[in-house]
Amino acid sequence: MSRTSPNTMTRSTVSATLGPLALVAVAFAVGCGDDTSGSASGTGGSTSSGASSASPTGGSTGGTSSTGGTSAASGGTATGGVATGGTATGAVATGGQATGGVATGGTAAGGSSTGGTATGGSTTGGTSTGGRANGGRSSGGTGGRAAGGADTGGASTGGASGGGADTGGASTGGTSTGGASTGDAGAGGTGDAVPSEGCGKTPSLKNSTTNSNPSPITINVSGTNREYALRYPSDYDNTHPYRLILDLHGYGGTYKETAGEDYFGLWSVSNNTTIFIALSAVDTDWRNGDNLAYVDAVLEAVQGDLCIDTSRVMLEGFSQGAAEAWQLACSRPGVFRAAVGHSGGGVTNPSSCEPIPYLGSGGLQENVTQTTQTDQFARWNGCTVAALPTAPSGGHVCTDYAGCPAEAPVRWCNYDGPHTPLPTDSGERSSWMPSETWPFFTQF
């Protein structure tokens, strides 16, 4: 099947098999953004594969690991808690109990910043407000955004920590009270989730139990009925905040396209750790309708009905849908944790963007390059923009941009193939792309 975009580029159908499911990349046409390029030298590490198709599992791991935390021994007095760049007041541990610790207004870098941690007693009331954690995860706090790597140090108070891999200044022998958090396999191994309002509720939204025949959900946006499909795990736990990935089809498609492609090949490999949404454009064209309001409304509905980790909402799009993902990521800073775009074009490029982790891909047999795909995010994120390796014949190569901040890496995957979100190396039946996109998403 092939379609023609407004810019008359065709997309070849590529068959791919991932796990037990068959993935079919349907062809669509797309335009490209303006070519721009930088002149700074230097490239990041790359992984490449030719006909042998050893699938790389790349992606910058993102962020730094912080260890430690502050412990107040039972019976002692600790004042101030731990805060870097902010002010912590009133955190006093007496008899192994910490009460009233409040950290306000500052930046917590690497470890926890919530009134100090206590070993051997109960901790209550520790609240972190207004801060942003860079390089370490923050749990149980409110008002801050966690950006970076896993927290292997000071445990945070004010939020329950469960299932994560926090070690070091962890609270032991007592209870911690506050906001719920849950460890998530494949989500950095941390217990720093920010639960949505839907946690604890019985879902009412229709779950698509198959990808080949997804069940549409209708939502009215600005007087127009829009559709999307939702798939959550068969063993869904309404006390566990899940990662959420929104998928955007190419020009001429609908939610059925991305659902039918196993949600860009990630449903199978996610192993019941992630909730997926397949979005749909008005009349199959992302240039139509109020798409910002549409996505806002979908997120509000899903997060109010299901248990979502609102700090791990992500985007993946193909062709015109990739370009729309650019618009969403840059128009709603702080809403999306990371984005992936395959061969984007056909929707007006953003003129500016807050730093966000980004992975882009494009083929040698189409008119997209790193200059039209990932260079823009590399500049916005503060990376070094330079010419990156080109795919070998019949294969692919994925390369990290050098100089990116740890919490906002940019990666470019170039392959010898046509316009598709699920390319395959020569002689291979399965696409290597999910082995790139899944580790990229789950490092956060």
pTM, full prediction:
0.63
Cβ–Cβ < 8 Å for 168, 161: no
Of the CA atoms within 13 Å of residue 408, those in its CB half-sphere come to 21
Whether residue 157 is found in the same domain as residue 235:
no
Specify whether 279 is located in the same domain as 377: yes
Structural domains counted in the chain:
2
Residues 251, 219 within the same domain: yes
Secondary structure (DSSP) of 216-238: EEEEEETTEEEEEEEE--TT--T
Non-local CB neighbours of 179 within 8 Å, separated by 6+ positions? 140, 141, 142, 158, 159, 160, 194, 195
Residue 38 lies in a domain: yes
Is the domain of 242 the same as that of 166? Answer: no
Residue 270 CB burial class (10 angstroms; 0-12, 13-18, ≥19)? buried
Q: 158 is in which domain, residue-wise?
A: 67-134+152-184
Residues 226 and 161 in one domain: no
At residue 246, the pLDDT reads 99
CATH (domain of 318): 3.40.50.1820
426 and 300 in a single domain? The answer is: yes
Q: What DSSP element (H or E) covers 439?
A: helix 434-442
> In this structure, is residue 301 part of a structural domain?
yes
Mean pLDDT of 332-361: 98
Pairing of strands 133-134, 108-109: parallel
Same domain, 385 and 407: yes
Q: Do 408 and 383 reside in the same domain of the chain? A: yes
260-274 confidence digits (pLDDT tens): 999 999 999 999 999
Residues 287 and 394 in one domain: yes
Tell which residue, 173, 84, 172, has the closest CA to residue 133. 84
Determine, yes or no, domain membership for 189. no
Q: Is there a single domain that holds both residue 215 and residue 318?
A: yes
Tokens (6 digits) for 115 = 């009134």
DSSP letters of 129-159?
A: ES--EESS---S-BS--EESS-B-SPPPSSB
Answer whether residue 143 is part of any domain: no
Judge if 255 and 292 occupy the same domain: yes
What is the model's pLDDT at position 150?
A: 34
The string of pLDDT tens digits covering residues 147-195 is: 333 333 333 333 333 333 333 333 333 333 333 333 444 434 446 999 9
Note the pLDDT tens digit of each residue in 225-273. 999 999 999 999 999 999 999 999 999 999 999 999 999 999 999 999 9
167 and 273 in a single domain? The answer is no
Q: Give the Cα separation of 377 and 381 in Å (integer).
A: 6
